[in-house]
Amino acid sequence: MSEIEYDFIVVGSGIAGLYTALLAQEHGRVLVVTKAGLEECNTRYAQGGIAAAVGSKDSPRQHYRDTLGAGAGLCNRQAVRVLTEEGPARIAELIDLGMHFDTVQGEIALTREAAHSLPRVLHARGDATGMEIELTLARLARFSRVDLWQHRLVTRVLVQGGRAVGIEAVDLHQARRQQVRGRNVVLATGGGGRLFFHTTNPPVATGDGVALAYRAGAEVESLEFYQFHPTCLYHPGAPPFLISEAVRGEGGLLRNEGGERFMEGQHPLAELAPRDIVARAITREMQRTEQPHVYLDVTHLPPERIRLRFPTIYRTCRELGLDITQDWIPVAPAAHYMIGGIRVDLWGRTNLPGLFACGEVACTGAHGANRLASNSLLEVLVFVKRLVQLAADGSAAASQEQAEEAFPLLRTAGPPGQVPQEDEQEVGKGELRRLMWDLVGIERDAVGLKRALSRLAGWRRARPVGEGLQERLELEFMLLTASLMAQAALLRQESRGAHYRSDYPESAPDWQRVIVQHLP
């Protein structure tokens, strides 16, 4: 056990972790623990931008309505109100920290994305918004009072007397375990796109935080809702690469192999329909035409506009032999964003005292069953500010604010947190990711979900295999998080938002409730 005791231990170094650390350093000693390098996280791959009602024709009320519309009837209205009303002030604070958004004639440039009623998405360097935010915060963190542990994978949240009191981590270079105590433990570990075979996420997104929190006794919520981005570049052999939703916001059209637009008639907003609708429409078109992808066409737009607005996308595609000003872009859906996560209140608190969560790993309820595009980065800024305020001084506002249950809860025991390891069938990440894509992916049914749960249970009883310590530890987390996700998907006997059951293709009024899982 380290002799140092911190006021804040922050696990993760994406925008959620770094923003927490930078705000928390004003209130005590802060440690950031990250399993990779400081800048390796999901945030840097967020191309589209950050949504906020900062335009002269916009309002928090309109942003609120759009968020509810995308959330398929499961948004926590209190959380959405906090998100949309406090968002503009958080954007101003980010700019004060040194963040530079794109401008036109001195005004912040705004673009429109799917399910937004008007342009409200801020962006930086065209399509490098996440990278710009991450680099801004990482630069500040390196010159701050924050202590940093890189290449340490957190394996356990330490619990004593019913309270989180610290963490245990493994130094991945020296294979040495370390423990450190902290008054507040904040999980900001990001999502779990690497649970699926096709994903826009980097290798670090293995769902660690959900498993850590669950094992410690925290509740998890809405894990059946996983958002699949409709347009990931399809180029065999190339690393996963997202084609931002903003490309469709600027006028990009989806076409099949024959050049036909297929989103017309699917939804009044066509290409700008909510992501779940577009992703399923693309999947079905691929099945109908027996092709591994469809196309995104921007060749009708001015070439210079494309090069200036999407420099990263243009350059990356060019390196792969595609000139997107002349060639259609082959695209297919991929796992993108974990809508559910660790259950938190409007101040980032879990049900385990001393344990907080923020960012993609947390479930505030603001996204409901289907996240509105570019709300995720704003959610970080808004709820991290509240988390630090509460953890630092007990915030009188938090005690006065009465949290209400937005919907009836279906509480259920999840799979055991720890499973005895026996010599059964061994599994690697590849088999797990293929299983999740095939059976717990864009379209699900009871037969496939039961088969997935059975396989996952057997794999969790086996000895995880991998080429190194990190690989094996991550696989344990992945198997637990995948099991929780498949269990929640089986329980929800309807289709809603990002969760689609082919055996229950309609939404059901009696399923307007939230699934919460906890240790047996």
Q: At what angle do helices 60-70 and 77-96 cross, to 10 degrees?
A: 120
From the CA atom positions of the chain, what is the Rg in Å?
22
Give pLDDT, residue 115.
Answer: 83
The answer to whether residue 417 scores a pLDDT higher than 90 is: no
The structural domains of the chain, ordered by start, are 1-225+339-411 (3.50.50.60), 232-334 (3.90.700.10), 412-518 (1.20.58.100)
> Over the stretch 448-503, which tens digit does the pLDDT of each residue have?
999 999 999 999 988 666 678 899 999 999 999 999 999 999 999 999 999 999 99
The runs of H, that is alpha helices, within 155-300 are 208-216, 245-249, 275-289
Distance CA(359)–CA(18), nearest Å, equals: 11
The answer to whether the beta carbons of residues 122 and 110 sit under 8 Å apart is yes
DSSP letters, 76-100, are: -HHHHHHHHHHHHHHHHHHHHTT--
> How many of the other CB atoms lie within 10 Å of CB of 185?
32
Task: Report the candidate in 89, 52, 424, 47 with the shortest Cα–Cα distance to residue 244.
Answer: 47
> Over the stretch 382-412, which tens digit does the pLDDT of each residue have?
999 999 999 988 765 665 565 567 799 999 9
Annotation marks residue 309 as catalytic? no
Task: Report the candidate in 312, 342, 364 with the shortest Cα–Cα distance to residue 12.
Answer: 342
Give pLDDT, residue 142.
Answer: 85
Q: Judging by DSSP bridges, how do beta strands 176-187 and 163-171 pair with one another? A: antiparallel
pLDDT band per the 50, 70, 90 thresholds, residue 379 = very high
Average pLDDT, the chain: 92
Task: Report the candidate in 370, 468, 472 with the shortest Cα–Cα distance to residue 427.
Answer: 472
Structure tokens at 351: 């049900």
Give pLDDT, residue 180.
Answer: 97
211-216: average pLDDT: 98
> Over the stretch 83-128, which tens digit does the pLDDT of each residue have?
999 999 999 999 999 999 999 988 999 988 878 999 999 999 877 8
Amino acid identity, residue 16?
A: A
Q: In whole angstroms, how far apart are CA 174 and each of 1, 169, 177, 432?
A: 16, 12, 9, 28
Task: Report the candidate in 497, 515, 479 with the shortest Cα–Cα distance to residue 68.
Answer: 497
Using the Cα atoms of residue 318, residue 194, residue 191 and residue 185 in order, give the sign of their dihedral: negative
Angle of CA points 44, 49, 52, to nearest 5°: 135
> Over the stretch 320-350, which tens digit does the pLDDT of each residue have?
999 999 999 999 999 999 999 999 999 999 9
Percent of the chain exceeding pLDDT 90 equals 78
End-to-end CA distance of the chain: 29
pTM for the model stands at: 0.92
Q: Active-site residue among 275, 371, 433, 501? A: 275
> Over the stretch 45-76, which tens digit does the pLDDT of each residue have?
555 689 999 999 999 999 999 999 999 999 99
Distance CA(156)–CA(227), nearest Å, equals: 27
Distance CA(442)–CA(273), nearest Å, equals: 16
Distance CA(440)–CA(394), nearest Å, equals: 40
Task: Write out the H or E segment, with its range, that includes residue 176.
Answer: strand 176-187
Give pLDDT, residue 423.
Answer: 47
> Over the stretch 292-327, which tens digit does the pLDDT of each residue have?
999 999 999 999 999 999 998 999 999 999 999 999
Give pLDDT, residue 240.
Answer: 83
